[in-house]
Amino acid sequence: MNLLTIVFSLILVVANPWIATSGAFAKAPALGIRIGRLQHGRYDAITDVSGVRVGNVTHIEGSGRLVAGVGPVRTGVTAIIPRTDVWERKVFAAAWPLNGNGEMTGTNWLNEAGALEEPILLTSTLSVGRVYDGVETWMIQQHPGVGISDDEPIPVVMEIADDYLNDQQGRHDTPADAVAALNAAVSGPVPQGNVGGGTGSVAFDFKGGIGTASRVLSTDDGGYTVGVLVNANAGSDADSLLIQGVPVGLELSKLKSVDPSSHSIDVVIATNAPLLHDQLEALCRRAALGLARDGHQSHIGSGDLFIAFSTANVVPHYPVERTYTATVMDVQHENPTFIATEDAAEEALVNALLAAQTMTGRDGHTVEALPHDKLLAILRKYGR
């Protein structure tokens, strides 16, 4: 890391306290780790897409031996709301599984209609049903006619298996937690690491969790923003971890001692670029390329699940008119959004590792945080 990079990183941290070198707002750029050439948004987060809000409920309770159904508890719920009243003002969207050994509810209708009409929730595998129930409760609170004089929501709930650290059988993410996470959702800086749905996550044998990043296109390319949020519980081959193309996992292999069975990742992509369903599915596929740059490998045991939405247009709820007008980007101009998505996805996974803290869960299972000092020394060794 050269002197210019160090000075730039210090200026970045002072000017943006929510882009830090450690803690819940740790970001690759603050540590001098530059991914791609595009600039990130104000918060380097999915919330840089105007109107997008994120909320979390986190459970870190108990210690010692596992008592199935009781604890210890290392789990939580993360909620992403695309915009105010997405039920009445739907967004174009697409869902895509790189590998489908996981659950992402509500996507049959989402892909059929090409639009999203509910928030997106992230949770633990065995809590999917309870969180789904909570979303229904929240939607009824927002729209009392739901299921009576109005249509029925089909919530989107994504999951990861957090059984290495958490008492999954206890299904500790409740309907009330889903409601609380949705009510807590705000714009602005997004906490990362051991929060919400990422509380019990493990990635590349280090502590994983929630990570987020954004990219802003140049004015010539439309000035659009792409934001990505991941729940990183991935990396079945720990040695495969790459950062800026450097084999960090191999260099740090002596530090890693865990072998969790969960290797999934949830990826949420938001943009204000005017893209339709098929174009948003293309963003999902490009996000997978970004993860591949980090060394992510999709195995048959993985739930590698992607969802993308665009806030540029409004898809009306029960329109009176037979047609409505939407602005659509021509496919010949999509490439910059692909690059932005790949870069933001690559950094979001890195940010999850940078922000996560060492955690001890059930049966004394301990997962170490990625050591920043050793990471930076390795990057310097390879001239990064």
Alpha carbon 294 to its chain's center = 15
From the candidates 162, 205, 294, 304, give the one annotated as an active-site residue. Answer: 304
Phi-psi region of 247 (alpha: psi -120 to 50; beta: other; left: phi over 0): beta
From the candidates 264, 266, 298, 310, give the one annotated as an active-site residue. Answer: 264
Q: Is 332 helix (H, G, I), strand (E, B) or coil?
A: helix
From the candidates 201, 262, 302, 310, give the one annotated as an active-site residue. Answer: 302
Write the DSSP assignment of 34-53 as a string of letters: --SSSBP-SSSSGGGSTT-E
**Is 201 an active-site residue?**
no
**Is 264 an active-site residue?**
yes
How many whole angstroms separate alpha carbon 300 and alpha carbon 147? 37
**Is 330 an active-site residue?**
no
How many whole angstroms separate alpha carbon 355 and alpha carbon 183? 24
DSSP 212: E
H/E segment holding residue 348: helix 335-355
Q: Where are the alpha helices (DSSP H) in 216-256?
A: 248-251
Q: Which residues contact 216 (CB under 8 A, 6 or more apart)?
A: 38, 39, 40, 41, 48, 223, 224, 225, 340
Return the active site residues.
264, 302, 304
